[in-house]
Structure 1
Amino acid sequence: MKKFKEIFQNKNYARLFFANFTSQMGSTLGLTAFMFYLLDRFSDQPVYASITELMYSLPTLAVFFLVGVFADRMDRQKIAYYCDWITAALSVALIGTILIGWMPLIFFVLFLRSAVQKFFFPAEHAMVQGILKEDDYTAAAGLNQLIMSLFMLFGNGLGILAYWTVGVYGAILVDAVTFGLSALLIRSCRIAEEVRLPNGKHTLKDLNLKLVFRDFKVGMQYILNNKLLSALLAGFIVFGVVNGGFSVMPVFMLKYRLAPETYEELSVVIGMVFGAGILLGSFIATLLSQKIKLYQMIIAGITITGGFVIAASFAESIILFMVLIFLTSLGLPLVNIAIGGWMPSIIDPKMMGRVQGWISPLMMLSQSVTLGFIAYSFPAILKVEMLYWLVGGCLILVGLFYTAVLPKYSRTEEELEKAAAETAI
């Protein structure tokens, strides 16, 4: 907690933190309320709710090669600022399209809104790297994980509450207000030019397709040439597997084995248990990051998670299953916080945007492959417990891989940093 207090004394970081918080709130409340609105109005067409989720995730594939280049070539503060205002305007436009009632137009505005949001986080994370000291990166990653776990716990509930109290229009209007507040917080920051523009000043006219694809290629080569960075990014592929698996596996376990009659109600409880574990794990991981090496946290987190995922497949009661799900979720923040705290210290600030731009597509690809595999194999080929064995087994294999390579890569990185420091002297 002392470390959290220290980094919040940095006014720029505090403002960016709350800007990130309000921006995430804006992307959660209205989307959840809109999904329930569709389920109420078009109860015989649940495909609309699925398309809504798709309109949130699909833009990642449309703009992933742009977001990192923009964050490294353009003014990062202006990117985050204008993203918020444009998203706020599109939220108001979304209200208009719902009033019109033409679904293709509604989904088009949702797609645009989500696409614009994708530019916010690489720019914001790159600024955080520049305004904090290296010792503060892990604490900042811990705070980001806390935000994620809070939204995991309460995000959908707040969205439903907003829908029940102020309706879909009121909830989306709240979205617009939170995005506007985030923009004002971004604007109030006083960030040095070398942090905002690490590669010098550029205009939109400079960012032709040739430059964009060249920079995208340079970013990919930068990642591949840094073995430690490549290994850490593999961790986000693991998160995609976990996200994909756990979006359906607990429900399958309840419906087809433990609670066929009450699986819908219990799935909500399971989600809360999982979120509570993530929240507690975030505090534990932040404390551990001051005591042990980051690669040890990653290895321990992946191995613990994998072990309890496999153990959950043998649960014969709902209570035991919930306990094992809770223990599973405790390990995930160790991985997320360690990777999130380690990456800024090994990435050139001039390349931070392009590296960040790879995270979402990697997670989405692995999540989609996992869901596709589950859709193909269950229940025709695999039983429900086998899904847990496969996901848990993958995690343990990655843990073994990290045990073999991360200590070696970490020592190499430390030696290079030491040599660079001696040369500078």
Structure 2
Amino acid sequence: MKKFAEIFRNMSFTKLFLANFTSQMGSTIGLTAFMFFLLDRFSSQPAYATITELMYSLPMLAVFFLIGVLADRMDRQKIAVYCDWISAALSLALIAAIYIGWMPLVFAALFLRSAVQKFFFPAEHGMVQGILKKEDYTTAAGLNQLVMSLFMLFGNGLGVLAYWSIGIYGAILVDTLSFIISALLIQKTVVPHEARLPNGTHSLKDLNLKLVLRDFKHGFMYVMSSKLLFALIVGFFIFGIVNGGFSVMPIFILKYKLAPETYEEYSIVVGLVFGIGVLIGSFIASLLSQKIKLYHLISIGLLISGSFTALASLPNNIYLFLGLLFISALALPLINIGIGGWLPSIIDPKMMGRVQGLISPLNMFSHSLTLAFIAYSFPSILTIEMLYWIVGGCLAIVGVFYMMVLPRLAEANETAVNEATVEQGI
């Protein structure tokens, strides 16, 4: 807790942290409410709920080659601000599309809003890396994990409550307000010039196709030249499969197996149990990150979470299901804090945008493939139990892979850094 208090004394970080929180809230409440709106209105067509998640992930594949280059070449602060203002405007457009009632227009508005939001996080991560000291990265990752756990704890519940109390239009208006607050916070943040523009000043006129492709290639080659970074990024492809599955699996197992008549109410309980598990796990992981190597933290988290995710498919009793899900959630912060605290320390600040521009599309590509596969195969080919086996198995496989390769690669990377430091000193 002392480290959390110290990092919040940095007012630039505090404002960016709050902006990230409100921007995520703007994505979560309305999207959750919209999913329940679809399940109510089109209960015999579960594919619509999956398509909604696709409209969140698929846009990354349309803009992936731009987001990292812009975050490294343009003013990161302006990018984040514009993303929030445009997302607020597109939220209003989404309300209009729902009112008209033509589903292709609704999904188009969701697609565009999601595409704009993809530019936010590489820019925001780059600014955070530039305003923190290296020893604060793991603490910042712990705080981000706490935010994630709060959304898991209250996100579904807030979305459902918003849908029940103020309707789908009111829920999306909450989204709009959240984006506006985030934009105002970032505008008020004092960000050092080198954190906003790590590669110097450029204008949009400079960003021709040749430069964009060249910078994207440099980012790709930078990742490929580091075996450690490449190994971590390979895992993000599997994490995309996991995220894609988890985005719909809890609702599906409730609606089609455990609580068909009361799945909406129980979805709040699942969110609470999962969120409490992640919240407690965040404190445990923050303490463990100071005592054990981050690669051990990541591997242990993957193995525990994967095993209990697969086991959660077996019970027909909802309370036993919740118990297994709680243990799975408890281990997730070990993964997120381990990776989140490690990556900024091994990535050159001038390359952060382009590396994030590779990680995010790889993650979203597998996320989208998973959702498309679920939309096609569930429930005609895959059962809900099989979905849990696939997701749990993926987590466990990555855990074994990381356990085998990360210690050796981390040691080699540390040796290379030390040698480079000595050479520069000479």
* Distance verdict in 2 for CA 1:194–1:240, change over 3 Å: same
CA offset at residue 298 of structure 1? 0.7
CA distance in 1 between partners of 2:122 and 2:40 (Å): 35
Tell me the equivalent position of 1:79.
79
* Distance verdict in 2 for CA 1:167–1:247, change over 3 Å: closer
Superposed CA deviations along residues 71-101 of structure 1, whole A, max 9, x for unmatched, are 0110001100111112222223333444455
Superposed CA deviations along residues 115-161 of structure 1, whole A, max 9, x for unmatched, are 11110111001110111011111111111111112112211222232
* Distance verdict in 2 for CA 1:157–1:322, change over 3 Å: closer
Stretch of structure 1 that moved more, 190-199 or 358-367: 358-367
Superposed CA deviations along residues 171-206 of structure 1, whole A, max 9, x for unmatched, are 333322221111111111111111111111111111
Cα RMSD, aligned residues only: 2.9
Tell me the equivalent position of 1:152.
152
Tell me the equivalent position of 2:286.
286
CA offset at residue 380 of structure 1? 7.6
Q: Please tell me whether residue 329 in structure 1 is matched to residue 351 in structure 2.
A: no
Letter in 2 for 1:67: I
CA distance in 1 between partners of 2:378 and 2:93 (Å): 41
CA distance in 2 between partners of 1:36 and 1:258 (Å): 17
Q: Secondary structure at the match of 1:407?
A: helix
Tell me the equivalent position of 1:201.
201
Identity %: 69
* Distance verdict in 2 for CA 1:58–1:310, change over 3 Å: closer
CA distance in 2 between partners of 1:110 and 1:236 (Å): 24
CA distance in 2 between partners of 1:7 and 1:346 (Å): 20
Tell me the equivalent position of 2:238.
238
Stretch of structure 1 that moved more, 202-211 or 155-164: 155-164
CA offset at residue 415 of structure 1? 1.3
CA distance in 1 between partners of 2:90 and 2:383 (Å): 44
Tell me the equivalent position of 2:223.
223
Q: Secondary structure at the match of 1:306?
A: helix
CA distance in 2 between partners of 1:401 and 1:286 (Å): 23
Tell me the equivalent position of 2:350.
350
Tell me the equivalent position of 1:411.
411
Unaligned runs of 5+ in 1: none
Task: Compute the TM-score of the two structures, normalised by the length of structure 2.
Answer: 0.89
Stretch of structure 1 that moved more, 381-390 or 5-14: 381-390
CA offset at residue 27 of structure 1? 1.6
Letter in 1 for 2:308: F
Tell me the equivalent position of 2:307.
307
1:3-402 matches, cutoff 5 A = 3-38=3-38, 49-247=49-247, 249=249, 266=266, 268-315=268-315, 317-371=317-371, 388-402=388-402
Letter in 1 for 2:237: I
Task: Compute the TM-score of the two structures, normalised by the length of structure 1.
Answer: 0.89
Q: Secondary structure at the match of 1:148?
A: helix
Unaligned runs of 5+ in 2: none
CA distance in 2 between partners of 1:257 and 1:175 (Å): 31
CA distance in 2 between partners of 1:378 and 1:37 (Å): 20
Aligned residues: 425
Superposed CA deviations along residues 370-399 of structure 1, whole A, max 9, x for unmatched, are 456667777787776565454434333322
CA offset at residue 243 of structure 1? 2.2
* Distance verdict in 2 for CA 1:35–1:138, change over 3 Å: same
CA distance in 1 between partners of 2:263 and 2:44 (Å): 21
CA offset at residue 304 of structure 1? 1.4
